[in-house]
Structure 1
Amino acid sequence: MKKIAVLTSGGDSPGMNAAIRAVVRKGIHDGLDVYGVYHGYSGLMEGKIEKLELGSVGDIIHRGGTMLYTSRSEKFKTEEGQEEAIKQLQKHGIEGLVVIGGDGSYQGAAKLSEKGIPCIGLPGTIDNDINGTDYTIGFDTAINTVVDAIDKIRDTATSHDRTFIIEVMGRLAGDIALWTGVAGGAETILIPEREYDIDDIMTKLNKGMERGKKHSIIVLAEGVCPATELAEKLMDSFQLETRISVLGYIQRGGSPTCFDRVLASRLGARAVELLIAGKRGRAVGITNQQLVDSGFEEILKNKDRVVDGLYELSQQLSI
């Protein structure tokens, strides 16, 4: 193998640049030519491919987002789109591809691997919802951003004796809400993996009021329901007035934490090693601080979410 490429796909996450840097510099260190694919799978189909040098990835490890840009592509999901992408890779003599992204990105990489293009995936998403790894690139930065926001909002909640609903990202996975809710001392945490009862929420809030607590924080994953809907239920059922803060895309941005930079660097370098070793159709992850790799099929098939331990702890601590 002489030439490899790297692309980022789907939602951006802090640490993607650190991963790109690791792939490029590890590849060059090991004697490879490394190419960057701009704008994800869309750019791959359109041939937006350039050779990267050591200096191409200088001064990016601390930057959020992705220097290669990213996109979502419906066309790439088709046979025609995948064939166009393969033709572009062959045109440039590229023999292996590193794909940084989430579940949808892995599905695309799996298709290319099945068609003969060796692909290795790196878990880049703030949602921490990829199987085969304990942590995804960007998750640590995102939760630190959210905790900082919760701390600031609590100051206002305390000053005005308010109940605040803080809506965070997490359409199908509640890791951001769960981790930040525990770290921020939230009185209630609502995640997609668990059903909630509006009466239980109010019971917990009332217990706090009975012991003199006049403010509360509810952390809500967006996949449960919109914050406006929960606020309306609390008002209609209990005449409880709340304030809403939807954190939105602020969770995706910002300089990656030390943890995310190191994680991305380790995973990126390992992806290059796997390609050189002739591996394909696999994704790199970290489990118990050890680098691991799993097949795309195994990762995409296993959708079980394990949140019991931390969720139960959150219930016990928010009495």
Structure 2
Amino acid sequence: MKRIGVLTSGGDAPGMNAAIRAVVRKAIYHGLEVYGIKQGYNGLINGKIEKMELGSVGDIIQRGGTVLRSARCEEFKTKEGQAKGIEQLKKHGIEGLVVIGGDGSYQGAKALTEQGFPCVGVPGTIDNDIPGTDFTIGFDTALNTVLDSIDKIRDTASSHERTFVIEVMGRHAGDIALWSGLAGGAETILIPEEAYSMDEITERLKNGSERGKKHSIIIVAEGVVKAHRIAEELEKVTTYDTRVSVLGHVQRGGTPTAFDRVLASRLGARAVELLMEGRGGRAVGIVKNELVDDDILEILRRPHQINMDIYKLSHVLSI
């Protein structure tokens, strides 16, 4: 293999630039040419492909977002769209592709793999919902962004003796809510993987109030229920002064943490190694701090699983 491509797809995640940098520099170090595909699979279909040099990735390791940019692409979900993408790859002499992104990005890599084009998936998503890896690129940064907000909101909650309902990202995966809730000392954490009870939430708040607690934090993953709905339900059955804060897309941005930069660098470099070894159709990850790779088709068959030990611990520590 002499020429590879790299693209980022789906929602951006802090650390994607570090992964791009690792792919480009690792490949060039070993004498390969690297082509960057801009705007994800949409750019692939439309031939937005440029050769990258060492300088192309200079001064980007500390930047959030993705210099290759990203875009959704419904057309690539079709056989016709995939055929256009493969045609562009062949036109540019690209023999293997590194795809950095989440579940939807992996679906695209899977489609190319099934048609015989070597792809390696690198998990880049703040949701931490890709099977086969303990952590995805961007999760740690997003987690710390949320935690910083929780700490600041708690100052206000304490000063005004209020209950705050904080809505965080996570349509189908509750990792951001769970980890930030535990780290931020939230009294209640609502995640998509577990059913919730308003009676239980109310009871926990009342128990806290009876022992002198003047404020509370409730963390809600967006895939469970809207934070405003929880606040409305609480106001119906309690006298607590309740406020809502929806953190939104601020969770996606920002300078990646050291953990995300190192993780992205390791995973990006490993993806290049797999292509050099002729091992396409793989997905890289990290398990117990060791780099691993799995069949990308098998990865997509596995359900995402929340760490229930952490969930149970959050209940114990928030009494």
- Scaled by the length of structure 2, the TM-score of the pair is 0.99
Structure 2 residue 262 is the aligned partner of structure 1 residue 250:
no
Distance in structure 1 (CA, Å) of the matches to 2:148 and 2:306: 26
Residues 55-94 of structure 1 aligned to structure 2 (within 5 Å):
55-94=55-94
Quote how far apart the aligned CAs of 1:154 are: 0.2
Partner Cα distance (2:239, 2:195) in 1: 22
Question: Following superposition of structure 1 onto structure 2, how do residues 216-231 of structure 1 map, counting pairs within 5 Å?
Answer: 216-231=216-231
Q: TM-score, normalised by structure 1?
A: 0.99
CA RMSD of the aligned region, Å? 0.7
What amino acid is the match of 2:273?
E
Q: Which residue of 2 aligns with 1:21?
A: 21
**Alignment match, 1:303:** 303
- Larger mean CA deviation between 304-313 and 215-224 belongs to 304-313
Matches within 5 A, 1:97-176: 97-176=97-176
Q: Are the counterparts in 2 of residues 10 and 101 from structure 1 also a CA contact under 8 Å?
A: yes
Q: Which stretch of the first structure deviates more once superposed, 298-307 or 52-61?
A: 298-307
**Deviation per residue, 1:107-151 (Å, 9 max, x gap):** 100110111210000000000000000000000000000000000
* Secondary structure at 1:14 match in 2: coil
C-alpha distance in structure 1 between counterparts of 2:189 and 2:110, whole Å: 35
Query: How far, CA to CA, are the matches of 1:304 and 1:100 in structure 2?
Result: 18
CA distance in 2 between counterparts of 1:68 and 1:185 reads 37
The CA deviation at 1:236 is 2.0
Cα distance in 1 for partners of 2:144, 2:71 equals 25
Paired amino acid for 1:199: D
Displacement of 1:304? 4.2
Q: How many residues align?
A: 319
1:52 corresponds in structure 2 to: 52
Amino acid at match of 2:247: L
Question: What is the alpha-carbon distance in structure 2 between the residues aligned to residue 306 and residue 188 of structure 1?
Answer: 16
- SS across alignment from 1:301: coil
CA shift for structure 1 position 280: 1.1
CA distance in 2, matches of 1:213, 1:163: 10
**Are 2:41 and 2:85, in contact at CA under 8 Å, matched by a contact in 1?**
yes
Q: CA deviation at 1:239?
A: 4.4
Paired with 1:239 and 1:223, the residues of 2 have a C-alpha distance of: 27
* Displacement after TM superposition at 1:34 (Å): 0.2
CA distance in 2, matches of 1:294, 1:251: 29
Query: Residue in 2 aligned with 1:196?
Result: 196
CA drift of 1:265 comes to 0.2
Q: Which amino acid aligns with 2:82?
A: Q
- Output the CA distance in 2 between the equivalents of 1:149 and 1:87: 46
Give the secondary structure class of the aligned counterpart of 2:195.
coil
- Taking the aligned partners of 2:237 and 2:123, their CA distance within structure 1 comes to 42
DSSP-derived class of the 1:136 partner? coil
3-state DSSP of counterpart to 1:66? coil
CA offsets per residue over residues 25-60 of structure 1, 9 Å max, x none?
A: 000001100000000000000000000000000000
Unaligned runs of 5+ in 1: none
Please tell me whether the aligned partners of residues 8 and 68 of structure 2 are also in contact (alpha carbons under 8 angstroms).
yes
Contact 1:18 1:62 in 2 (8 A): yes
- The correspondence of residues 36-51 of structure 1 with structure 2, limited to 5 A, is 36-51=36-51
Give the conservation status (yes or no) of the 8 Å contact 1:284–1:294: yes
- What are the superposed Cα offsets for residues 133-178 of structure 1, whole Å, 9 maximum, x if unpaired? 0000000000000000000000000000000001000000000000
CA contact (8 A) 1:234 1:241 kept: no
Residue 213 of structure 1 corresponds to: 213
- 8 Å CA contact retained: 1:9, 1:41: yes
Distance in 2, matches of 1:308 and 1:52, equals 43
Of all paired residues, the percent bearing the same amino acid is 68
Does the 8 Å CA contact 2:16/2:65 hold for their aligned counterparts? Answer: yes
Name whichever of 21-30 and 306-315 sits farther off. Answer: 306-315
* Contact 1:231/1:241, CA 8 A, preserved across alignment: no
Counterpart contact for 1:10–1:72, Cα < 8 Å: yes
Q: What is the CA-CA distance between 1:237 and the residue it aligns to?
A: 2.9
